[in-house]
A = this chain, B = another copy of it.
Protein backbone atom coordinates (compact mmCIF):
# COMPACT_ATOMS: atom_id res chain seq x y z
CA UNK A 1 0.00 0.00 0.00
CA UNK A 2 1.26 3.47 -0.79
CA UNK A 3 1.97 5.69 2.15
CA UNK A 4 0.93 9.27 2.49
CA UNK A 5 -1.99 11.24 1.18
CA UNK A 6 -3.31 9.85 -2.09
CA UNK A 7 -3.17 12.06 -5.19
CA UNK A 8 -6.40 13.71 -6.26
CA UNK A 9 -5.50 13.65 -9.92
CA UNK A 10 -3.13 11.96 -12.30
CA UNK A 11 -0.40 13.10 -14.61
CA UNK A 12 -2.58 11.99 -17.49
CA UNK A 13 -5.38 14.28 -16.38
CA UNK A 14 -3.00 17.19 -16.26
CA UNK A 15 -1.58 16.46 -19.69
CA UNK A 16 -5.03 15.93 -21.18
CA UNK A 17 -6.32 19.19 -19.77
CA UNK A 18 -3.28 20.99 -21.15
CA UNK A 19 -3.85 19.49 -24.59
CA UNK A 20 -7.51 20.41 -24.49
CA UNK A 21 -6.69 24.02 -23.67
CA UNK A 22 -3.93 24.28 -26.27
CA UNK A 23 -6.22 22.78 -28.91
CA UNK A 24 -9.04 25.17 -28.15
CA UNK A 25 -7.21 28.38 -27.35
CA UNK A 26 -3.65 28.01 -28.50
CA UNK A 27 -0.31 27.72 -26.77
CA UNK A 28 -0.43 31.31 -25.55
CA UNK A 29 -3.49 30.53 -23.43
CA UNK A 30 -1.80 27.56 -21.83
CA UNK A 31 -0.81 28.64 -18.35
CA UNK A 32 -0.33 26.57 -15.24
CA UNK A 33 -3.11 28.43 -13.45
CA UNK A 34 -5.47 27.82 -16.32
CA UNK A 35 -4.78 24.10 -16.35
CA UNK A 36 -5.21 23.89 -12.60
CA UNK A 37 -8.51 25.70 -12.80
CA UNK A 38 -9.69 23.33 -15.52
CA UNK A 39 -9.13 20.22 -13.43
CA UNK A 40 -10.26 21.88 -10.21
CA UNK A 41 -6.95 22.08 -8.41
CA UNK A 42 -4.68 24.72 -7.01
CA UNK A 43 -2.03 25.97 -9.36
CA UNK A 44 0.83 24.59 -7.35
CA UNK A 45 -0.71 21.15 -7.11
CA UNK A 46 0.22 20.56 -10.73
CA UNK A 47 3.84 20.35 -9.71
CA UNK A 48 3.06 17.09 -7.98
CA UNK A 49 2.46 15.55 -11.39
CA UNK A 50 4.84 17.47 -13.60
CA UNK A 51 8.24 18.97 -12.80
CA UNK A 52 7.75 22.16 -14.81
CA UNK A 53 5.95 23.62 -17.78
CA UNK A 54 8.60 22.62 -20.26
CA UNK A 55 8.40 18.97 -19.31
CA UNK A 56 4.66 19.23 -19.52
CA UNK A 57 5.04 20.33 -23.13
CA UNK A 58 7.24 17.32 -23.76
CA UNK A 59 4.56 15.10 -22.32
CA UNK A 60 1.89 16.79 -24.43
CA UNK A 61 3.89 16.23 -27.59
CA UNK A 62 4.50 12.60 -26.84
CA UNK A 63 0.90 12.05 -25.84
CA UNK A 64 -0.63 13.36 -29.05
CA UNK A 65 2.09 11.42 -30.87
CA UNK A 66 0.22 8.37 -29.69
CA UNK A 67 -2.75 9.41 -31.78
CA UNK A 68 -0.87 8.83 -35.03
CA UNK A 69 -2.71 6.19 -37.00
CA UNK A 70 -1.11 4.67 -40.04
CA UNK A 71 -2.32 2.15 -42.57
CA UNK A 72 -0.29 -1.02 -42.77
CA UNK A 73 2.94 -0.62 -44.69
CA UNK A 74 2.73 -1.68 -48.31
CA UNK A 75 6.44 -2.13 -48.81
CA UNK A 76 6.48 0.61 -51.45
CA UNK A 77 8.54 3.37 -49.87
CA UNK A 78 6.87 6.12 -51.83
CA UNK A 79 3.38 5.16 -50.77
CA UNK A 80 4.37 4.47 -47.20
CA UNK A 81 6.37 7.63 -46.72
CA UNK A 82 3.57 9.80 -48.03
CA UNK A 83 1.19 7.98 -45.72
CA UNK A 84 3.39 8.84 -42.75
CA UNK A 85 3.58 12.47 -43.81
CA UNK A 86 -0.17 12.61 -44.31
CA UNK A 87 -0.84 11.12 -40.90
CA UNK A 88 1.48 13.63 -39.34
CA UNK A 89 -0.24 16.48 -41.06
CA UNK A 90 -3.60 15.24 -39.86
CA UNK A 91 -2.23 15.17 -36.33
CA UNK A 92 -0.90 18.69 -36.61
CA UNK A 93 -4.17 19.98 -38.01
CA UNK A 94 -5.95 18.46 -35.02
CA UNK A 95 -3.41 20.05 -32.68
CA UNK A 96 -2.31 23.30 -34.30
CA UNK A 97 0.11 24.09 -31.49
CA UNK A 98 2.14 21.03 -32.35
CA UNK A 99 4.40 22.56 -35.03
CA UNK A 100 5.38 25.33 -32.62
CA UNK A 101 5.96 22.92 -29.75
CA UNK A 102 8.08 20.35 -31.56
CA UNK A 103 11.31 22.16 -32.61
CA UNK A 104 13.81 21.47 -29.88
CA UNK A 105 12.17 18.43 -28.36
CA UNK A 106 14.18 15.50 -29.63
CA UNK A 107 12.55 12.14 -28.93
CA UNK A 108 10.53 13.01 -25.87
CA UNK A 109 8.90 9.62 -25.41
CA UNK A 110 7.97 6.25 -26.80
CA UNK A 111 5.34 7.62 -29.13
CA UNK A 112 7.88 9.86 -30.80
CA UNK A 113 10.20 6.90 -31.11
CA UNK A 114 7.34 4.96 -32.65
CA UNK A 115 6.86 7.71 -35.19
CA UNK A 116 10.54 7.63 -36.03
CA UNK A 117 10.34 3.87 -36.34
CA UNK A 118 7.48 4.17 -38.83
CA UNK A 119 9.44 6.57 -40.94
CA UNK A 120 12.50 4.37 -40.93
CA UNK A 121 10.38 1.35 -41.77
CA UNK A 122 8.88 3.13 -44.76
CA UNK A 123 12.39 3.89 -45.97
CA UNK A 124 13.72 0.41 -45.35
CA UNK A 125 13.09 -0.85 -48.91
CA UNK A 126 15.25 1.94 -50.31
CA UNK A 127 18.38 0.41 -48.82
CA UNK A 128 19.66 3.85 -47.82
CA UNK A 129 22.12 3.96 -44.94
CA UNK A 130 21.05 4.79 -41.42
CA UNK A 131 22.11 8.43 -41.08
CA UNK A 132 20.52 9.28 -44.41
CA UNK A 133 17.26 7.67 -43.39
CA UNK A 134 17.31 9.57 -40.11
CA UNK A 135 17.95 12.80 -41.93
CA UNK A 136 15.10 12.19 -44.34
CA UNK A 137 12.65 11.50 -41.53
CA UNK A 138 13.76 14.66 -39.72
CA UNK A 139 13.43 16.64 -42.93
CA UNK A 140 9.98 15.25 -43.49
CA UNK A 141 8.87 16.26 -40.01
CA UNK A 142 10.18 19.76 -40.51
CA UNK A 143 8.56 20.03 -43.88
CA UNK A 144 5.17 18.93 -42.62
CA UNK A 145 5.42 21.31 -39.68
CA UNK A 146 6.25 24.22 -41.99
CA UNK A 147 3.44 23.36 -44.30
CA UNK A 148 0.84 23.05 -41.56
CA UNK A 149 2.00 26.26 -39.91
CA UNK A 150 1.50 28.09 -43.18
CA UNK A 151 -1.77 26.28 -43.66
CA UNK A 152 -3.25 27.14 -40.27
CA UNK A 153 -1.96 30.71 -40.14
CA UNK A 154 -4.80 32.68 -41.71
CA UNK A 155 -2.63 34.29 -44.41
CA UNK A 156 -2.97 37.71 -42.72
CA UNK A 157 -3.10 40.20 -45.57
CA UNK A 158 -2.62 43.15 -43.22
CA UNK A 159 -2.98 46.66 -44.56
CA UNK A 160 0.66 47.51 -44.08
CA UNK A 161 1.74 44.32 -45.79
CA UNK A 162 -0.47 45.04 -48.76
CA UNK A 163 0.94 48.55 -48.92
CA UNK A 164 4.49 47.22 -48.67
CA UNK A 165 4.00 44.73 -51.46
CA UNK A 166 2.15 47.23 -53.55
CA UNK A 167 4.82 49.85 -53.55
CA UNK A 168 7.56 47.25 -53.82
CA UNK A 169 6.04 45.89 -56.98
CA UNK A 170 5.42 49.39 -58.28
CA UNK A 171 9.06 50.26 -57.74
CA UNK A 172 10.09 47.78 -60.40
CA UNK A 173 12.79 46.29 -58.19
CA UNK A 174 10.96 43.00 -57.86
CA UNK A 175 10.11 41.88 -61.39
CA UNK A 176 9.75 38.20 -60.58
CA UNK A 177 7.42 38.88 -57.71
CA UNK A 178 5.42 41.27 -59.85
CA UNK A 179 5.13 38.64 -62.54
CA UNK A 180 3.87 36.04 -60.11
CA UNK A 181 1.30 38.40 -58.66
CA UNK A 182 0.19 39.53 -62.10
CA UNK A 183 -0.21 35.93 -63.13
CA UNK A 184 -2.98 35.59 -60.57
CA UNK A 185 -4.12 32.29 -59.16
CA UNK A 186 -4.29 30.53 -62.51
CA UNK A 187 -1.62 27.99 -61.59
CA UNK A 188 -3.56 27.01 -58.49
CA UNK A 189 -1.69 26.06 -55.38
CA UNK A 190 -0.38 22.52 -55.47
CA UNK A 191 -1.86 21.25 -52.18
CA UNK A 192 -0.35 19.03 -49.56
CA UNK A 193 -0.51 15.63 -51.27
CA UNK A 194 1.14 16.88 -54.41
CA UNK A 195 3.80 18.79 -52.49
CA UNK A 196 4.52 15.89 -50.19
CA UNK A 197 4.88 13.59 -53.14
CA UNK A 198 7.24 15.96 -54.91
CA UNK A 199 9.33 16.59 -51.85
CA UNK A 200 9.68 13.04 -50.59
CA UNK A 201 9.93 11.32 -53.92
CA UNK A 202 12.41 13.87 -55.13
CA UNK A 203 14.49 13.69 -52.00
CA UNK A 204 14.70 9.90 -51.90
CA UNK A 205 15.30 9.64 -55.62
CA UNK A 206 18.20 12.03 -55.43
CA UNK A 207 19.63 10.27 -52.39
CA UNK A 208 19.46 6.94 -54.22
CA UNK A 209 21.06 8.38 -57.31
CA UNK A 210 24.02 9.52 -55.33
Residues of A within 8 A of B (CB): 99-100, 103-104, 106-107, 109-110, 113-114, 116-117, 120-121, 124, 129-135, 138-139, 141-143, 145-147, 149-150, 153, 155-156, 161, 164-165, 168, 173-177, 179-181, 183-190, 194-195, 197-199, 201-207, 210
CA–CA, A189 and B188, complex, Å = 37
**B156–A106 touching, CB < 8 Å:** yes
Nearest B residue (CB) for A184:
B130
List B contacts of A194 (CB < 8 A): 210
**B177–A116 touching, CB < 8 Å:** yes
CA–CA, A201 and B210, complex, Å = 12
List B contacts of A189 (CB < 8 A): 131, 135
Min C-beta distance of A135 to chain B, whole Å: 6
